[in-house]
Structure 1
């Protein structure tokens, strides 16, 4: 499970290209289009069922304790079958985006505290390496594992990719991790926690996710203000903490000013000033609805026609919203099924976490609706599940002990 989690968290399409697997491209065998972690998850689940005997009874037991995970798995399989039967491409996206996180959650049902402690250590290590690699890429201008389409990189995209590949997915995961640390997730010591938050915030700028930065600052700032007001209301403000904050504020202000003077924020400010048509694309995508008949919008239009209309409309970079993308490519019924399944799945994940997970959960829901995210092929949902479960130890379910 630790090995599988490491592959989910740290192995991107760019890294797979380096080892000879064309995961993100159009050419190559279909087996290469499914993430290696998805194969491992299927094998782990099958192995657990066989090892514990009576696979059917174990599946029924797991379905009772993780019904939303099974619903999401069924929705992902249904989407993959729909795509395959229509002769379209993208079935691997349904497996990685929806089946993989469902299997991850099923595998985490009965993990003990020791296993989850190892998982937390892994999460901190991967996120630290990811942040440092992003900062190095920004400083040197060299991207090590960028997103590639059949080997070709997008030279105009200079954002750091680090271990996650896609800058927006990277920014989303980093923002959720930072907010989880701010809200008390994990077991890091206070100074280590502050250091990790600082490094992640610097890396977040290099990933260039405008929405992620804004959401992190707004939610993190609001949380800090609420905690300060509660401390004042209780009349219990630690003198050492107050002295530390008084010393840190001018240092932080000086550091931000130095970074700004050195041009650290120039690329990010440039994206706010000129976003390459991203904002216009989010408006233009609604024009596609008027060009498709209602029946196709409900059951799923011809994907070739949608691709043609998308390019004619000037949406070469894709549909910048997951639900709208699924509606346009797989139809409204499939979009409704997936939306309900993902919503229930996130609720189920939250129920297995201790209190305090609301901040990263809200951030995740907001951010996945700012770009294609779950509408395409991604392991982002599985990564979020691992981070949340690792930092907020799940409430043990004694009934599930010893079962799948």
Structure 2
């Protein structure tokens, strides 16, 4: 009798194609570069590279952030890799409907702005479309990929804090916020890698609270050191609201953790030793900060606000000059610009929702607020526990300045931070 074929009773898997590993590595590198561009490239940095991102003059393609182009290209690659473009789209509609809704709202807002003859078309793309693409692009990434993206995020925030401290000490701003190349010379706040100082303060505050709630994989000593560094850098960015919000919410987290530890009756010996050692360094740290003028900078932010409080009062007075019907469906853009100049609000209307009401009307603003709320809820549900504290801080802080009403990648960066620091399959590290 002849021998039985080797295929019977045995399973021979086809060897992987030679290009599969290369494509996987190329895709990983592309996502890492995209994360680096999204988190670490600001309008000031783009100006240094020859692109007028934040201004009016210049070519239209330069008004859209490079991370947005990369996100669109990555989504196109996902559709191409799937073989059938309908599959990724259907998956996004099924698993990330709020993200799709936010992206669609961004496109519709662009059409509305163009139909009314307004400016800032790219703002709707970078603010909402890019943010909508972030959860869609990351929904099928494995833990290894998210871990690499988390590492990039930590490194950029570390570099951002160090650069902010350098700018505060040296008095030199490397990549300040510029409008058509003109920097505000009277604004001495550090800009670092996040562009606008208040956007920088918002991201830093949310990052601190995310670390305090156990986000990421940093070991306890590294986590404590990073939180301390970010707290010091937060002052240089000049966000009073961010500083107060971080201290209030962060103190609450610390008190709850301390109470839980004391009630358990078990205090790790190593932890107690580290705490005692850290307490001995506090006087030295305070003296060093006082020597470099840290506390003078901190107090100056609260003593002199540069008219910020008065600007918040003046923006409410604009409501009296606009008829209710126009407020509902969109005020006249020329009238809004004139009123801003009259009340000295050329730097912006310091509230995201009120600014959107003045430029797009109550109805459009209500849709955008609903879309952003559903979006943040969806992102939170895809993450493990601990995300609601940074989300609360984010909602508070984006309404203390123009925030999401202007062109910004802040919402996209915030969603990326939550997804990579709080992946659902990873347990929170022990503090």
So what's the TM-score if we normalise by structure 2? 0.89
1:84 aligns with 2:122: no
Q: Which runs of 5+ in 1 are unaligned?
A: 397-404
Note the aligned Cα RMSD (angstroms): 1.3
Q: 1:379 aligns with which of 409, 412, 418?
A: 409
What pairs with 1:214-363 in structure 2 (closer than 5 Å)? 214-363=244-393
Query: Shift of residue 56 of structure 1?
Result: 2.4
| Deviation readout 1:43-63 (Å, 9 max, x if unpaired) | 211221122122224312211
Task: Identify which of 26, 34, 43 aligns with 1:4.
Answer: 34
More off after superposition, 239-248 vs 195-204:
239-248
Kept in 1: contact 2:169–2:292 (CA 8 A): no
Are residues 1:105 and 2:105 paired? Answer: no
1:212-238 deviations in Å (ceiling 9; x for gaps): 111111111111111111111111122
- Tell me how many residue pairs correspond in the alignment: 396
Q: 2:203 aligns with which of 170, 173, 176?
A: 173
Q: Kindly provide the CA deviation profile for residues 268-302 of structure 1, in whole angstroms up to 9, marking residues without a partner as x.
A: 31121111110111111111111111221111112
- Give the structure 1 partner of residue 28 of structure 2: none
The whole-number CA distance in structure 1 between the counterparts of 2:381 and 2:150 is: 18
2:164, 2:190 within 8 Å by CA — same for their partners in 1?
yes
Give secondary structure in 2 for the equivalent of 1:23: coil
Q: Which residue of 2 aligns with 1:182?
A: 212
Aligned: 1:28 with 2:55: no
Distance in 2 (alpha carbons) for counterparts of 1:391 and 1:19: 30
Moved more, 190-199 or 106-115: 190-199
Q: Deviations over 1:123-165 (max 9, x none)?
A: 1110111111111111111111000011111011011110011
SS at match of 1:265: helix
Distance apart, 1:210 and its partner CA? 0.8
- Partner Cα separation in structure 2 for residue 292 and residue 267 of structure 1: 39
Distance 1:21 1:301 in 2: 32
Matched, 1:148 2:185: no
Q: Could you say which structure has the larger radius of gyration?
A: 2
2:9 matched to which residue of 1?
none
For structure 2, the residue ranges without an aligned partner over 5 or more in a row are: 1-30, 427-431
2:100 is the counterpart of 1:70: yes
1:256, distance to aligned residue in structure 2 (A): 2.1
State the alpha-carbon separation in 2 of the partners of residues 252 and 212 from structure 1.
23
Do 2:353 and 2:405's aligned partners in 1 also have CA atoms closer than 8 Å?
yes
Which aligned pairs between 1:111-130 and structure 2 lie closer than 5 A?
Answer: 111-130=141-160
The one of the two structures with greater contact order (alpha-carbon pairs below 8 A, sep at least 6) is: 1
Kindly state the Cα deviation for residue 253 of structure 1 after the two structures are TM-superposed. Answer: 4.0
Q: Secondary structure at the match of 2:187?
A: coil
1:44 to 74, 83, 95: 74
Q: Deviations over 1:199-222 (max 9, x none)?
A: 111111111111111111111111
- The CA deviation string for residues 50-79 of structure 1, in whole angstroms up to 9 with x for no partner, is 221222243122111001001101111111
User: Which shifted more, 385-394 or 372-381?
Assistant: 385-394
| Distance of 1:367 and 1:256 partners within structure 2 | 28
Query: Conserved in 2, the CA contact under 8 Å of 1:288 and 1:309?
Result: yes
Query: 1:120·1:391 contact (CA, 8 Å) conserved in 2?
Result: yes
